[in-house]
């Protein structure tokens, strides 16, 4: 038994409550090392209330197996340890380490299941599909609006979005996320000059209120982009420092190393990256923090904003995020907070800071499998399992799943224009746990390298649209609306016999379930997918042709997949399908 690989930590992703009566407990072991894993538990103060629960292996990655049990036994104060068997030995594992006998002391403890500590999912957000709009590049009205003499400005505005709102309603999206709209120096508006004003290039407040009201009338929520890590260098507080130096009353609003303030060759103040035009705000300063909290309150209350995507969230102190959350949730508990974090982000997702994050770690794995083709489906599957085991399972269905954003090359470009591989990634994005985000134009086949090429103006000439892509998006958006299992169903991999290039998984919710199978290879594959106890029988959404083979058997699917082909199945019945 490889003791060095065995790991558990209370009050973490290895032990958390999902409702007032249920504690999820996980254990990590070396891969293929343990035959039996049993949880031994008793009530914290009354050892006569005791029991055992067999733990199930729920996931494996490249190095480890993960065991899990959902413990619902009528007690809220729990002490516990693990009983382990391999082919040669038995061990008891407690907080004091490993024993050859069952120890009387040193158990792990979950002192009380507090309902206040249970993550509260925001139902409307978890059930949604997001559409991201880069305001300067989406639509403008009138169409011949001047570009204001700046070649980087394309004149997108609120009136243009209002004129194109029917397109988004028909597409079926539930949320619009706007990149910054506040008055700024640049076209991207991440260097805010005035947090209380709409950039005049974009429109005015009356038009913005009209747009938000129209969106709400059509069942579409609105998410603003909050840039609180840094301001622009023309923001009033920083301007005052430039004018008055260390005598400015705003000197503590920023992190300035010395005076006078210098921009070149490298700023002597902290900023976003090393760009002097975006000086870093000191959110640890109470005055700065309160100003920003008031900004968020203003737009949320006065304009009915439904959520905030928070830029460079991992560079801002967590005390500020907790204050922001407390303030917003006191106004409306269903206001969503999304942190922009490019790296592993689980520590922000325990109910005291963010409801969700932009899921770039998942995107990196999607890039590797579908775009770069640097891993096979088997490696991808194991890395997905590792990713899932880092998270409280109640947050998984609310993470924002992206394949393209304004900060990355468009995914079709990453795929070298290969529409089939692009389609596989989109199918995965919409059927894997999480909230899918569509970056404007992806649905019609837009391409683009990194910033600024990935921010090309939206194409409104329908003759240039990729209709096949558009129908795929409409199909998948509709599918998520119809099936609860695709929004809140639990994920599980399905064993595949015959080819490492096949990805197969399920989303289950009671008797409602979905199976997704895709061939990530450029060659035909004959395979068998073991559905186990998940389904007794399945029927395909997609119609079959004469040269295809589909044998639906009890607990097994045998089929032949063409290169880069995908299939979606459900437990029973049939649906009109995408062809």
Q: Give the residue numbers annotated as catalytic, written as ranges.
A: 311, 340
Residue 502 CA: distances (Å) to CA of 29, 32, 532, 535, 567 = 26, 22, 17, 19, 11
- Residue 509, phi then psi, degrees to nearest 5: -150, 95
β-pair partners for 517: 504, 567
| Nearest Cα residue to 53 out of 77, 23, 89, 32 | 23
Return the structure tokens found at 58: 């729920």
β-pair partners for 160: none
Within 8 A by CB and 6+ apart from 579, the residues are: 542, 543
Within 8 A by CB and 6+ apart from 291, the residues are: none
| Nearest Cα residue to 269 out of 227, 234, 238, 224 | 238
- Residue 258, phi then psi, degrees to nearest 5: -160, 170
Bond before 25 cis per omega within 30 degrees: no
**Angle at which helices 205-217 and 286-303 cross, to 10°:** 60
| 369 DSSP 8-state letter | I
Query: Can you count the helices (H) and strands (E) in the chain?
Result: 14, 29
Q: Which residue's entry shows tokens 């932009």?
A: 358
- Residue 22, phi then psi, degrees to nearest 5: -125, 125
CB 357 within 8 A of CB 312: no
Work out whether the CA dihedral 126, 131, 136, 140 comes out positive or negative.
Answer: negative
Three-class DSSP category at 542: coil
| 351 DSSP 8-state letter | S
Bond before 531 cis per omega within 30 degrees: no
**Other CB atoms within 10 A of residue 35 CB:** 11
CB 164 within 8 A of CB 138: yes
Rounded to the nearest angstrom, the gap between the alpha carbon of residue 21 and the centroid of all alpha carbons in its chain is 27
What is the rounded distance in angstroms from the CA atom of residue 469 to the CA atom of residue 480? 17
Beta-strand ranges (E) seen in 373-423 are 400-401
């Amino acid at each position: 038994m490889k003791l060095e690989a065995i790991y558990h930590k209370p009050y973490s992703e290895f032990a958390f409550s999902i409702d007032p009566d249920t504690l999820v407990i996980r254990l990590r072991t070396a891969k293929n090392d343990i035959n039996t894993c049993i949880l031994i538990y008793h009530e914290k103060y009354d050892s006569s209330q005791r029991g055992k629960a067999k733990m199930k292996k729920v996931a494996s990655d490249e190095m480890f197996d993960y065991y899990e049990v959902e413990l619902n036994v009528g007690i809220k104060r729990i002490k516990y340890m693990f009983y382990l068997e391999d082919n040669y030995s038995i061990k008891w594992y407690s907080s004091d380490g490993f024993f050859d006998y069952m120890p009387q002391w040193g158990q792990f403890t979950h002192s009380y299941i507090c309902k206040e500590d249970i993550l509260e999912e925001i139902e409307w957000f978890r059930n949604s599909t997001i559409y991201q709009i880069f305001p300067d590049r989406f639509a403008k009205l009138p169409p011949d609006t001047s570009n204001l003499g700046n070649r980087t400005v394309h004149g997108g505005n609120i009136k243009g979005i209002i004129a194109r709102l029917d397109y988004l309603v028909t597409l079926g999206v539930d949320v619009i996320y706007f990149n910054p709209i506040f008055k700024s120096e640049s076209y991207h508006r991440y260097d805010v000059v005035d947090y209380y004003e709409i950039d005049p290039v974009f429109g005015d407040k009356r038009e913005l209120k009209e747009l938000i009201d129209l969106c709400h009338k059509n069942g579409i929520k609105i998410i603003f982009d909050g840039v609180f890590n840094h301001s622009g260098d023309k923001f009033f507080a920083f301007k005052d420092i430039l004018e008055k130096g260390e005598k400015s009353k705003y000197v503590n609003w920023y992190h300035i190393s010395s005076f006078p303030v210098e921009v070149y060759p490298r700023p002597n103040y902290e900023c976003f990256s090393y760009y002097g035009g975006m000086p870093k705000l000191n959110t640890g300063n109470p005055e700065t923090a309160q100003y920003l909290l008031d900004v968020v309150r203003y737009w949320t209350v006065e304009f009915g904003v439904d959520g905030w995507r928070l830029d460079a969230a991992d560079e801002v102190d967590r005390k500020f995020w907790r204050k922001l959350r407390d303030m917003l949730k006191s106004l409306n508990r269903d206001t969503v907070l999304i942190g922009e974090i490019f790296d592993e982000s689980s520590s922000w997702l325990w109910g005291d800071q963010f409801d969700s994050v932009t899921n770039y770690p998942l995107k990196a794995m999607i890039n590797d499998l579908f775009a770069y083709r640097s891993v096979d489906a088997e490696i991808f599957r194991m890395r997905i399992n590792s990713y899932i085991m880092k998270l409280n399972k109640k947050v998984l269905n609310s993470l924002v799943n992206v394949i393209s954003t304004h900060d990355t090359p468009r995914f079709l470009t990453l795929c070298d224009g290969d529409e089939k591989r692009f389609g596989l990634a989109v199918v995965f994005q919409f059927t894997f746990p999480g909230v899918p985000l569509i970056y404007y134009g992806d649905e019609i086949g837009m391409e683009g390298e990194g910033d600024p090429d990935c921010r090309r103006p939206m194409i409104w000439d329908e003759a240039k649209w990729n209709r096949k892509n558009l129908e795929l998006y409409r199909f998948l958006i509709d599918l998520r609306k119809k099936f609860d299992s695709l929004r809140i169903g639990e994920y599980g991999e399905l064993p595949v016999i015959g080819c490492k290039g096949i990805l197969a998984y399920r989303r289950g919710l009671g008797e409602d379930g979905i199976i997704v199978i895709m061939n990530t290879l450029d060659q035909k594959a004959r395979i068998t997918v073991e559905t186990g106890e998940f389904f007794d029988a399945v029927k395909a959404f997609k119609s079959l042709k004469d040269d295809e083979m589909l044998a639906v058997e009890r607990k097994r699917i045998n089929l032949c997949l063409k290169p880069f082909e995908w299939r979606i199945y459900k437990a029973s019945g049939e649906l009109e399908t995408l062809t």
